[in-house]
Amino acid sequence: MRTYPLPVVLFLLSLVMICSCSGKAGKSAKPVALLEIVPAARNYRYGQAMSLHIKIKAPKNQLPKTELFLNNELLVTDQREEFTHDISGKGLLGVNTVRIVTTSQDGRSSTLLRNFTMLSDSAPIACSYRVVREYPHHREHFTQGLEFHQGHLYEGTGENGRSALYKTDLTSGKILLSAKLDDRYFGEGITILDGKIYQLTYRHRTGFVYRLSDFAVVDSFAFASQEGWGLTNDGKALIMSDGTETLTWIDPSGFRVIRKLQVADQEKVYRYLNELEYDNGHLWANVWGTDMIIKIDAATGKVKAVFDLKGILSVMAAGTSDRLDVLNGIAVLPSGNLLVTGKLWPKMFEIEPVCSE
């Protein structure tokens, strides 16, 4: 093996280091963005004055292009070293995401993400209820969706192997029409729009469309959420819940997402939103695992009222069912009263809201 004198080896190593360093010097460093949300706070109030102060760390002769996004909407593109952008009134209820993308002159980029939470600027009113009337409910129905339409009650039920769709007479409880889902599907929320019934499934990320008159399946659709929970409509779009704090508006013709809305009051974001019912600009929603129904402003996501239905099951005689599950099922009656029930409950209740303004 050929060997080289030590001075030659040192000379070659020096050349390698010089080349390496000169290569690095020819390439600009990635620009770095610093963000300050003004004012600094743990949470923010809907509509309050806010601004974003951005400072870029980069050589002054190589200032990058900076793109500022709020919830995926591009707010401004800037090339200054430091600037402030007002976002008063632009934040949405719930978690908001600020994204800053800086791109250097040679195309290198970096991204900064920062979240902030916005809560309602008003407290919901507290409401209770008065039971107006009781109606029969099939004890084996694991209620996931409820809707009163043109004098009849429509119900979607869950559990694998038992999920189905029903049309019943409200007063007698007689089943007038039914359709069973394939055993692999766990049925979820339902809604009626333009002569069709739409039904979600739990974890298959699939929904079905039925003809209202005979429950024949006429279409199916996919949705992006990991789970399907509640479903209603505002006369134009489907509105679904997925067990989180987010409600999603979906175009019923192409099933694309139109918009999303998070739900919050002045203290917290509401998760576990379940069964839904739309009524005149507001949404009624069960909060899963509680005796609570909330009334939501469909435009903003603000919780306007909280209904405590605690004790409603006490009117049922003990032992009327081997198993009672959670409150789940809301329908608006022509009188404006609510029809509520639960999974495997033997009764439904027409209730009149009693609120303290």
Q: Does 171 share its domain with 316?
A: yes
Confirm if 54 and 82 have CB atoms less than 8 A apart. Answer: yes
Q: What percent of the chain stands above pLDDT 70?
A: 88
Q: Does 183 share its domain with 259?
A: yes
Provide the strand spans (E) within 104-162. Answer: 109-119, 125-136, 143-149, 152-157
Query: 25 in a domain, yes or no?
Result: no
Q: Does 132 share its domain with 99?
A: no
Taking only the tens place, the pLDDT of each residue in 57-101 is 887 777 788 999 999 999 999 999 899 999 999 999 999 999 999
Confirm if 157 and 199 have CB atoms less than 8 A apart. Answer: no
Q: Does 138 share its domain with 105?
A: no
Q: Does 260 share its domain with 286?
A: yes
Residue ending a domain, choose from 91, 119, 147: 119
Confirm if 267 and 118 have CB atoms less than 8 A apart. Answer: no
What CATH code is carried by the domain that includes residue 219?
2.120.10.30
Q: Does 203 share its domain with 161?
A: yes
Q: Which amino acid is at 315?
A: V
Quickly count helices (H) and strands (E) in the chain.
Answer: 1, 28
How far is it, in rounded angstroms, from Cα 10 to Cα 7? Answer: 5
Taking only the tens place, the pLDDT of each residue in 33-61 is 899 999 999 899 999 999 999 999 887 77
Q: Does 231 share its domain with 272?
A: yes
pTM (predicted TM-score): 0.85
Q: Does 294 share its domain with 334?
A: yes
How far is it, in rounded angstroms, from Cα 217 to Cα 208? Answer: 7
Q: Which amino acid is at 91?
A: G
pLDDT computed for residue 59 by the predictor: 77
Q: Residue 303's closest CA among 90, 48, 127, 116? A: 127
Domain that holds residue 57: 32-119
Neighbours of 314 (CB within 10 A): 8
Report the C-alpha dihedral over residues 264, 265, 266, 269, rounded to 10 degrees: -30
How far is it, in rounded angstroms, from Cα 98 to Cα 36? Answer: 11
Q: Does 227 share its domain with 289?
A: yes
Residue ending a domain, choose from 119, 135, 158: 119
Q: Does 187 share its domain with 78?
A: no
Q: Does 279 share its domain with 299?
A: yes
Q: Residue 115: pLDDT band by 50, 70, 90 thresholds?
A: very high
Q: Residue 231's closest CA among 287, 191, 259? A: 191
Q: What average pLDDT is seen over the chain?
A: 88
Q: What percent of the chain stands above pLDDT 90?
A: 71
Taking only the tens place, the pLDDT of each residue in 1-23 is 455 554 443 444 444 443 444 44
Residue ending a domain, choose from 73, 90, 119: 119
How far is it, in rounded angstroms, from Cα 305 to Cα 276? Answer: 15
Taking only the tens place, the pLDDT of each residue in 290-309 is 889 999 999 999 999 999 88
